[in-house]
Amino acid sequence: MAEPENPIAPQQPLFRAVASSTKQIYHLLKCISFTPKVQVQITQDGIRFAADHSRVMQGVVFLDKALFTTYTLNVPDEGSTLPQFQMNLAALLEALQIFGAVDVAARAARAEAETYRSNLRNYRQDVFSHQALGIPGTCCFVYEEDGSPLSIILEETGVKTRCNMVTYTPESPDDIPFDRRDLCFKIIMQARWLLDGLSELAPIAPARITIAASPDAPYLSFTSSGSLGSASVDFSSGRDLLETFSVRDRWVQSFKFDFIKSASEAMRIANKVSFRGDGQGVLSLQFMVEVDGGAVSFLDFRSKA
């Protein structure tokens, strides 16, 4: 008597992760939306998204596996090549908005009602609160194999939507080098203070911003000039403003204002920022963001003069 054939087990995708909400993922990725495409690398610990602007401004978002309810990467062994690809970030953000979208009109009305706002500062919201996360549902990220699309499967109240994001061969641009062994200054402060400082300069439409850190007063200063005049912002060294303050030597560098402004979305949602400069003139901004459930995510920005 012939034995019944065993059904062939379906092949497991190379990567699969499920999140109960996309809102916090959306807001983190929106922080690096200053370029249309991003480099993506999937690791056992999370997903790394890197944006590069003309090799002088780079932003990195790392989505820790803790942001997902399930996270599975099926690689044969530890020595295997990790999945890497390039994709359109704008398309991904649009897909994520399908799930649990925030009422944009209501949000805009609240922002307009604020008396203290500028073209850089919309009054900071707790974008990771339960009220902003949207209604319950699931979002599944699937990457079947190298070269396949990244699928975003959204399901809520019995309705399932599948978005297939085209992936491209990664370019793997070199990271802007930051020399931690030649650290000229390190300042840790509330991210909103940094946003406030840039907001004071934005109305004069500056082309560049000069950042100076000094062991003596003024300890940290921003100066710029534009078609409407010039302005400067100084920060004191008190612990109520600058939680950590370490300056080896006076450090002065000038950067394109638009590049620094590219990190303003991160300044809005972050709790703290580590503000550093090295001996070769590279500026590093590392933002700490507290997300739903008490987890912490980090956003990294680097810029060359």
Tens digit of pLDDT for each residue in 37-85?
999 999 999 999 999 988 889 999 999 999 999 999 998 777 678 999 9
Please state, as a whole number, how many other Cβ atoms lie within 10 Å of the Cβ of residue 39: 20
Label residue 14 by pLDDT band (50, 70, 90): very high
The reported pLDDT for the residue numbered 227 is: 83
The answer to whether residues 198 and 220 touch, using CB atoms and an 8 Å cutoff, is no
The answer to whether residues 166 and 151 touch, using CB atoms and an 8 Å cutoff, is no
Structural domains in the chain, CATH included, are 15-100+135-168 (3.10.150.10), 180-303 (3.70.10.10)
Helices (H), 39-158: 89-97, 104-113
Label residue 256 by pLDDT band (50, 70, 90): very high
Angle between helices 23-30 and 89-97 (to 10 degrees): 150
> pLDDT tens digits, residue range 152-193?
998 877 888 899 999 999 987 788 999 999 999 999 999 999
pTM for this predicted structure: 0.84
Label residue 131 by pLDDT band (50, 70, 90): very low
| 123 three-class SS | coil
Q: Is the pLDDT of residue 221 over 90?
A: yes
Label residue 115 by pLDDT band (50, 70, 90): very low
The answer to whether residues 285 and 263 touch, using CB atoms and an 8 Å cutoff, is yes
As a whole number of angstroms, the distance between CA 71 and CA 59 comes to 24
Q: Which residues pair with 256 in a beta bridge?
A: 208
Label residue 105 by pLDDT band (50, 70, 90): very low
The reported pLDDT for the residue numbered 135 is: 44
- 56: phi then psi, degrees, rounded to nearest 5: -120, -10
The reported pLDDT for the residue numbered 25 is: 92
| 42 three-class SS | strand
Average pLDDT over every residue of 107-128: 47
As a whole number of angstroms, the distance between CA 207 and CA 120 comes to 15
